[in-house]
Amino acid sequence: MIPVIVMSLPLMAAAIVLLRLLHGVREWPARAVLLAMLAAGIAGLAYSVFAGGRTPAPEPPEHAGHAMAPTAVGPRSVTLSPYARELAEIAVAPARRQFVDVEVRMVGKVRYDERRLAYVTAWIGGRIDRLFVAFTGDTVEKDKEMVWIYSPPLRTAQEELIQAVRTVERLSESGLPIVKETADRTVKSARDRLRLWGLTARQIDEIARSKVPTDHISIHAPITGTVIERNGWVGMWVDQGTRIYTIADLSVVWVMLDAYESDLPWIRYGQEAEAVPKTSPGEKCEGKVAFIDPFLNDRTRTANVRLNADNPKGRLKPDVFVNGIVRSRVAAGGKIVDPRLAGKWMCPRDPEVMADDSGTCPGCGIELVKTAEFGFVAPQEAEPPLVVPVSAPLITGKRALVYVQLKEGEYEGREVVLGPRAGEFYIVEHGLDEGELVVVRGNFTIDSALQLMGKPSMMNPKGGAAPMRHGH
Ligand SMILES: [Zn+2]
């Protein structure tokens, strides 16, 4: 016996080194190789100790030699001695019912809100004589004068107006009603044309009163915002409809984010979110999830998520990089606990539109949708999901296996149906009961022990011949 123990000492040392390595290696293939080496070591050791078909006796922990040998129990289960458990650093945790808080972080860029764009266009053909805003990025107030255009047709139309006004004045005292009526109509159509070319009622009144035509017209800013594009230059001839400036109202912006496929279950339309510029993390802006692309980008495995973000200080400038953060409290059935949204109705096109009752959206006219349909639940109605720590299941492809501790030292492999990962937990759909203890550390070692015994394991689901055979 003594020489056997002496011989086994280097083997033990190797096993401990391997276990240490295993602890640091997370990738499946690398682990598998190490585990196979370890398993081979255990097998060789067990064989050398129990050569001749001796059954393992209850071992004292100080007898390092035989303590490593696992004992088979059920078809998927194994018993490990206290020493083997310690060596494999086995740890267990209960499957629990609890709400899980998930923080989803995404990266993306700021864009202007397409619904908050306005164009400064020439309403009449002519030559740009002055531009009052030289640079993109400049902010303008609504009605600010932006362009001064010289326009020959404008002069003609004004002369028609002045002529018509004079006629009306001449006919006001005497004259046939039918003639007067015609003159009035001429005034009206001349006024209409000038109005369509962009002159204000006051400007037209002024021309009619002073009877002095002008050959220039000013174009004013249609909204307050930031000039994001300029297409006109002084001296350029423009046609009716030519776009000279584009103005964006940046008080609310779009934040275009990329969400990973695995994070999508925890991002919902209408949810509150944060947008933080990468360069100034202190300047966070409030927003809402306004769009989730139903299609994934095949290459990146991400989906576009759009936030509508408030931008009161203008920190979210177009093209600035941002982090988008969504925080979700996950309930059973993949629902999201949200006291603010639960029980409400929302416009499916604009999450800003919320109501306590059904109805139609005052903005776009379509039917409001119950927030429950977007997956929101009130705290008092929410049920906690059954979860296990992420380290518990061994996952390959569609299969997931956990090792359940039946009693101290006895472990049984069990296939479970997992829901999505929620932060540091997996949601368990099927296969486990609340309170059952699952192995959260050392499960790879247990799996390899089962494999070695030719039993069904994660690596070898059907069981059968162990990779390391030893005859008697
Ligand atoms: Zn709407």
Q: In this structure, what token pair is assigned to residue 264?
A: 């999508």
Describe the chain by its helix, strand, coil percentages, rounded to 5.
30, 35, 40
pTM here is 0.71
Query: From ligand 1's centre to the CA of 308, what distance in Å?
Result: 14
Beta strands 285-292 and 272-277, pairing class: antiparallel
Distance CA 127, CA 148 (A): 9
388 beta partners: 426
Query: From ligand 1's centre to the CA of 349, what distance in Å?
Result: 5
Average pLDDT rounded to a whole number, residues 326-340: 94
* CATH 2.40.420.20 is held by the domain 2-97+386-452: yes
Q: Which CATH architecture has domain 121-248?
A: Beta Barrel (2.40)
Query: From ligand 1's centre to the CA of 355, what distance in Å?
Result: 11
Query: From ligand 1's centre to the CA of 324, what distance in Å?
Result: 24
Distance CA 329, CA 316 (A): 27
Report whether 89 contacts 442 (CB < 8 A).
yes
Query: From ligand 1's centre to the CA of 118, what distance in Å?
Result: 21
Query: From ligand 1's centre to the CA of 139, what distance in Å?
Result: 29
Query: From ligand 1's centre to the CA of 288, what distance in Å?
Result: 15
**Of 290, 294, 325, 292, the residue nearest 307 (C-alpha):** 290
Query: From ligand 1's centre to the CA of 368, what distance in Å?
Result: 8
pLDDT band at 48 (very low <50, low <70, confident <90, very high): very low
Q: What is the pLDDT of residues 365-409, one digit of tens each?
A: 999 999 999 999 999 999 999 999 999 999 988 789 999 999 999
Query: From ligand 1's centre to the CA of 289, what distance in Å?
Result: 15
Q: What is the pLDDT of residue 76?
A: 80
Query: From ligand 1's centre to the CA of 241, what distance in Å?
Result: 30
Number of H helices, E strands in the chain: 8, 30
pLDDT band at 469 (very low <50, low <70, confident <90, very high): very low
Q: What is the pLDDT of residues 190-221, one digit of tens each?
A: 999 888 888 888 889 999 999 998 888 888 99
Query: From ligand 1's centre to the CA of 346, what distance in Å?
Result: 8
* CATH 3.40.50.360 is held by the domain 101-113+251-377: no
Q: What is the pLDDT of residue 73?
A: 62
Distance CA 212, CA 443 (A): 93
Is 126 in a helix, a strand, or coil? strand
Query: From ligand 1's centre to the CA of 264, what distance in Å?
Result: 24
Query: From ligand 1's centre to the CA of 362, what distance in Å?
Result: 6
Query: From ligand 1's centre to the CA of 120, what distance in Å?
Result: 27
Q: Where are the domains of the chain?
A: 2-97+386-452, 101-113+251-377, 121-248
- Over 379-423, what HEC string results? CCCCCCCEEEECCCCEEECCEEEEEEEEECCEEEEEECEEEEEEC
Question: Please, what is the average pLDDT of the chain?
Answer: 84
Query: From ligand 1's centre to the CA of 367, what distance in Å?
Result: 8
Distance CA 395, CA 231 (A): 57
Beta strands 399-407 and 126-131, pairing class: unpaired
Is 195 in a helix, a strand, or coil? helix
Query: From ligand 1's centre to the CA of 353, what distance in Å?
Result: 6
Q: What is the pLDDT of residue 74?
A: 66
Q: What is the pLDDT of residue 287?
A: 96
Who has greater pLDDT, 466 or 132? 132
